[in-house]
Structure 1
């Protein structure tokens, strides 16, 4: 199989800026001519093997960063935006989109931000009652989307927060449990910790400096909530510095992101990076075994596996997604080439939807996307019950997966015939941009293709895709 050519001009320029070298000096370090480096930095030539080796040897650069999923995410997002009917006359080749994503990522993100602003304005105008009810009349971006995109383009890995949490998890005597460390830290900060028969998971009284955790919550949830509050109290400077770098446009987005970062810290403290990565490899990513070892929930383990993207110590590149019963995506991240729709639900052929049909069981699937990439996907339903009879029960489904080339590292791949092409089910990203012309579950026509409608003939769909 031919190796994929890597075009990573913007990353070469960024690295050269980090080490403060001129193009001439940088070319000498890499062992190439100045014109050749210039062509690579402008994506007119792919990164050569010689340069890849020099980047690793001379600068200690993690060469896997050259083919990270950031450009693929941008390409997928741009394709979805360009499938909007308002842009139906615009159909740039895929090669142009890839060139833009790799050579001008800032421009690509500006285009996506512009399209998102258009969609939000359009959706608000379609709901006049809500729009007219606003006193200021301003059309602000969705804070939730701002925060979700922040984590999405950080590869769902925040290095400073991750390392701070890992450091905390090793404080004190070696025999001390994580809860021992949490209680000790609370005492040092003058915080009273108590458990009470209340429905609210976590309540912190800033005046009395008392933290109340619901005794009805599961042990993993109790520990997680304690760690969230610990982050908010002890990591204030780090949280604020990270938020400053993110440059959110609204106070609401900043507030939501702060909670998200505290949640990230909690997960990283509960499952410290190096120890968790080693355990994941030893158990072959057995979610149930990892949940027992670290006192975490299945969802917490799956989410944590998707964050193992530390430079120089990366885990298997997973995608992770959570959907509700309506099929709407409530959490999403992908370190793989598989990306999720920014608008609408997940592909109906994906096994994440089947998880609702088999509660308490893992559902395995071999799947292939329209670009020919094959994946193994694991899905399971997640229940979040209330604390009393009649209390509402929240129900979700989660999916965790990776490209099939990593299947040998997953216990869930055992007994699956990964070499059989017919074993792979066809899935897509979203019906609006999916290129499959004969999908029996298609909800809307692909917006980039012309349709042929024959009233005297009916197949799976009431139209044919040209």
Structure 2
């Protein structure tokens, strides 16, 4: 089988910029000619094996970063955006062109995605114009929630500085502390009084009285997480603000939401500190229930954390993680794999995450293949979040966790499965899925022409032409 050529011009330019080197100086250190480096940086030539070796030896560069990044997710996002009916009269660019744009001009590709996002929000606002008419504050602004979601999406859901700060808090000197005790001692040193209440709100902080209250209705993992969240807000403000400055959010609302997201990230990383959690994940073969017991966390927290283990030089298995509600809407999505989730709407109905609601308390396993030919091992389970009283509603979700099938042997859940068996065909979104014989298709693929035969009806009321 031919080895896939590695084009990483953007990564090379970024590294050279961080080092402050001219092309000539960079070429000398890599022992290549200046024209050759120029061609590699512009993706006219692949990165050679000798250059990969030189990057590792000369600069200590983690060469796995050459193949990571957001090119694949940009391609996926552009394909989904181009599947919007607004482009139905235009010629859809082939995937090869989208890959070139994502590799050679990622800033331009992101600008296109930003433009499409703004269009969708404008369209949705106009669709409910009757609600906005007469309001002086009605305006067409980008959604702060989506802006923050995309920030984490394009960071691979891994924030190195915040992650390391959380690990330092949880494991000073490399020794893991009890998170509740460590957080309690930290608040006490800061003069913050910790109290418990039967109130429905999970947490409440009063800056005037410097009192922090946790709800006794919340589960143990939730209490630990919320306590560590407050530690992040009170002790890591400078780090969080610096990260927010770097992100350059367009609106104050997006910045406020992102700060909560960063504090949540710190809380999760302190509850499940990187090296200790990675070692435990490997020794338990990624058994979610064992890991939850070892760290006093919930199964959802453990699954989410597994999708963030992408520290350069110490990477875990690349996982995807998703959470859906009972309507099939994606409420959380993170992926360190090539699988990318639909930015709008729900997940593919053929995916086992939807069946998890039918089998509460059980893990469902699935071998799945996406239209690009990549094969995955998928795990799904329902998650219930009781409100803590008879009258409080119970929130029900399903979580999905998975990896490419070549990593499945490192998961206890793959035991007894034929990993070379039948793979179920799944997609990302019907509008960009190229499968012609899917019995669950909701709308036709935008990139294909249709044939309609009034005298024949099969699974679909149309045929998808070549």
- Scaled by the length of structure 1, what TM-score is found? 0.98
Do the aligned partners of 2:170 and 2:176 also contact (CA within 8 Å) in 1? no
Residue 37 of structure 1: how far off its partner (Å)? 1.0
Q: Deviations over 1:249-306 (max 9, x none)?
A: 1111111111111110000000100110111111111100000000000000000000
Q: In the aligned structure 2, how far is the partner of 1:93 from the partner of 1:458?
A: 31
Where does the alignment leave 5 or more consecutive residues of structure 1 unmatched? none
Aligned runs of 1:74-89 on 2, under 5 Å? 74-88=74-88, 89=90
RMSD: 1.3
Q: In the aligned structure 2, how far is the partner of 1:23 from the partner of 1:51?
A: 14
Q: 1:55 to 1:133 in 2, by over 3 A?
A: farther
Q: 1:189 to 1:173 in 2, by over 3 A?
A: farther
Aligned runs of 1:95-174 on 2, under 5 Å? 95-171=96-172
Do the aligned partners of 1:347 and 1:428 also contact (CA within 8 Å) in 2? yes
1:428 correspondence with 2:395: no
Aligned length, in residue pairs: 464
SS in 2 for 1:101: helix
Residue 131 of structure 1: how far off its partner (Å)? 2.9
Residue 172 of structure 1: how far off its partner (Å)? 8.7
- Scaled by the length of structure 2, what TM-score is found? 0.98
Moved over 6 A (4+): none
2:447 paired residue number: 448
Residue 390 of structure 1: how far off its partner (Å)? 2.6
Do the aligned partners of 1:432 and 1:446 also contact (CA within 8 Å) in 2? yes
SS in 2 for 1:124: helix
Q: 1:162 to 1:176 in 2, by over 3 A?
A: closer
Aligned runs of 1:4-153 on 2, under 5 Å? 4-88=4-88, 89-153=90-154
Do the aligned partners of 2:179 and 2:228 also contact (CA within 8 Å) in 1? no
Q: Deviations over 1:219-262 (max 9, x none)?
A: 11111110011111111111111111111111111111111111
Do the aligned partners of 1:69 and 1:335 also contact (CA within 8 Å) in 2? no
Do the aligned partners of 2:170 and 2:177 also contact (CA within 8 Å) in 1? no
Do the aligned partners of 1:69 and 1:336 also contact (CA within 8 Å) in 2? no
Q: 1:173 to 1:280 in 2, by over 3 A?
A: closer
1:242 correspondence with 2:240: no
Q: In the aligned structure 2, how far is the partner of 1:313 from the partner of 1:215?
A: 37
1:369 correspondence with 2:348: no
Q: 1:133 to 1:304 in 2, by over 3 A?
A: farther
Q: Deviations over 1:90-140 (max 9, x none)?
A: 311211111110111100000000000011111111111233254134200
